[in-house]
Amino acid sequence: MKKDNPSEHTELRKKAEARLESKPTGSNAHLSEFESLKLIHELEVHQIELEMQNDELILAETSAREAAEKYSALYDFAPLGYFTLSNTGEITELNLCAYQMIGKNRSRLKNSSFGFFVSHDSKPAYAQFFDQIWETKIRVSCDVTLVTEGNIPMHVHLSGIAAENGKQCLLSAVDITGRRQAEVRLQDSEKKYRNLVENAIIGIYATNWEGDLLFANQAMCRMLEYRAIEDLLNSESRYRDISERDTLVKTLKKSNRVFNYEIELITKTGTPINVLVNSFVSGETIVGMMMDITERKLAETELHKKMEELQRFHNITVGRELSMIELKKEVNELLKQSGHEEKYHVA
Helix (H, G, I), strand (E, B) or coil at 197: helix
Report, as an integer, the average pLDDT of 218-222. 91
**Delimiting residues of CATH 3.30.450.20 domain(s) in the chain:** 51-199, 201-292
Of the two residues 257 and 104, the one the predictor is more confident about is 257
Share of the chain above pLDDT 90, in %: 31
Indicate the fold that domain 201-292 takes in CATH.
Beta-Lactamase (3.30.450)
pLDDT at 77: 72
> What is the rounded distance in angstroms from the CA atom of residue 194 to the CA atom of residue 207?
17
Average pLDDT, the chain: 82
pLDDT at 48: 75
pLDDT at 79: 78
Task: Encode pLDDT of 82-138 as tens digits.
Answer: 999 999 999 998 888 888 888 776 677 888 999 999 999 999 999 999 999 999 889
**Residue 288 burial by Cβ neighbours in a 10 Å radius (0-12, 13-18, 19+):** buried
Q: Judge contact between 97 and 86, C-beta under 8 A.
A: no
- Please give the DSSP secondary-structure letter assigned to residue 110: T
Instruction: Report the predicted TM-score, pTM, of the whole model to 2 decimal places.
Output: 0.50
Q: Which has the minimum average pLDDT: 126-135, 215-224, 302-311?
A: 302-311
Q: Judge contact between 278 and 200, C-beta under 8 A.
A: no
Looking at the structure, give the CATH architecture of the domain made up of residues 51-199.
2-Layer Sandwich (3.30)
Of the two residues 121 and 336, the one the predictor is more confident about is 121
